[in-house]
Amino acid sequence: MLFTSLLHEVAASDLDAADIVNPLHRLVCRAKFFSGEVRQVDLEHKTVLVSEGTDGEQRTFDYDYLVIGLGSESNFYNLPGVEENSITMKCLEDAFVLRNHMINQLEAADFDRGKGDPAALSFVVCGGGFSGVETIGAMSDFLRDATEFYPNLRRDMIKLTLVHAGEQLLPELGGKLGEYAVEKLRERGVEVILNTAVSAFANGRVHIGTGDTSCSIPAGTLVWTAGVKPAVAVQDLAAKKTKGRLLTLPTLELPDWTGVYAVGDCAAIPDPYHPGKFYGPTAQNAVRQGELVAQNIVAAILGRKQRPFRYRVLGQLAAIGQRRGIANILGLQFSGFAAWWLWRTVYLYKLPGLQKKVRVGFDWTLDAIFGKDLVQLRTSRIANLQRRLARTQGTAGNRPAA
């Protein structure tokens, strides 16, 4: 299980990658797992087709009760060049890729003595939600600290731009905190462009805006955090949906499918406190939904009444780099070092597993003493190795059946 809330810290070398990943086997000792990709969910016949990662071997599971928590994937809105050329922030590999890419760009620019392509040191992040703001804050810290190790580079050579289609950053936190985030990012030299959407990314240029207001930014990097859509297996499901998410009853059960529940990012669960709206795809909501779905399954087994999902968000926190944060706790808004400290404390508490908490605590302490660890983790070799191994296994033909 990946603790995605700290992904940007891995990208910025604040944390070791393994520290935010927990093996589910260890977390739930009594559990029995199958790791694979969900290919098809047949609600009619109550079966799920799953394929195993490396060679695509397929296996069918049947069920009496089903919980669909397949999450979401990045939505590129079919914009030219965006899906192919941008870096997302959804999985651990994305964090590796972003860190590797930032170091590659620095290496190349240093080799050219800073006189090469100016776009090489221009980084654009698209999306002003939590993921986008936290990522650009972490990138800013990382890149500016890293320039110390490159004699031909200066901090002012690095250009960071945050493009957001909305009127304010972090709309979930309220206007004042969004303005504070903009102010702090601009103080740090990050250009923040609001009310503007990215329209394409091609030939080293990020195209933004439409019509007369359109322009382009030279950039060697586009980080895409501007939208999500439900997983492919969910899109193909024969169930009611709204904006691609599975529409559920307040009890998390699908309306026409008894015993089938949806939770997390892929579920559209009605919010009783805001009629006509649905709960947002946040980790806070997903945790509570996961807990309630278990209780409702037990209630269904016992023939008892199931409880509706009712949850008021206690607060929200975001880190914006340079040990600054913004917070909205029970309506109380504050920012700065205290908010950043609270952000780290809360996420450390929420991180599953004592061992991981201790490791992350140590990492943060060492980071404060020694600074960032400028280590590049080359994923291309790992990918090549996996391809070679898969070919070897295929030719040997002696792979045991699952």
Partner 1 sequence: MIRSLIFGTGVGIALGAAGASLLHRNQRVRSATNGDHGRRLRILILGGGFAGYYALRSTSAEIPGSKSR
Q: Which residues of this protein are in contact with partner 1, per CB under 8 A?
A: 1-2, 4, 24, 27-28, 30-34, 38, 41, 48, 61-71, 233, 263-267, 283, 286-291, 293-295, 297-298, 301-302, 352
Q: Token match 């003595």: residue?
A: 113
Q: Which is nearer to partner 1, 72 or 100 (CB)?
A: 72
Minimum distance from residue 6 beta carbon to partner 1 (Å): 13
Provide the 8-state DSSP code for 12: T
Minimum distance from residue 354 beta carbon to partner 1 (Å): 15
Q: Which is nearer to partner 1, 43 or 197 (CB)?
A: 43
d(CA 288, CA 284) in angstroms, rounded, equals 7
- Which residues have a Cβ under 8 Å from the Cβ of 367 and sit 6 or more positions away? 14, 15, 373
Minimum distance from residue 301 beta carbon to partner 1 (Å): 5
d(CA 10, CA 17) in angstroms, rounded, equals 6
Q: Which is nearer to partner 1, 86 or 289 (CB)?
A: 289
Minimum distance from residue 395 beta carbon to partner 1 (Å): 31
Q: Which is nearer to partner 1, 124 or 297 (CB)?
A: 297
d(CA 172, CA 333) in angstroms, rounded, equals 12
3-state secondary structure of 125: strand
Cα–Cα distances in angstroms (integers) from residue 205 to residues 155, 183, 215, 235, 392, in the given order:
21, 26, 10, 32, 41
Minimum distance from residue 121 beta carbon to partner 1 (Å): 34
Minimum distance from residue 175 beta carbon to partner 1 (Å): 28
Edge-to-edge strand list for the sheet holding 215-218: 198-202, 205-208, 215-218
Q: Which is nearer to partner 1, 74 or 122 (CB)?
A: 74
Q: Which is nearer to partner 1, 247 or 283 (CB)?
A: 283
Strands 267-268 and 245-247: parallel
Q: Please compute, for residue 393, the number of CA atoms within 13 A of its CA located in the half-sphere on the CB side.
A: 13
d(CA 122, CA 182) in angstroms, rounded, equals 19
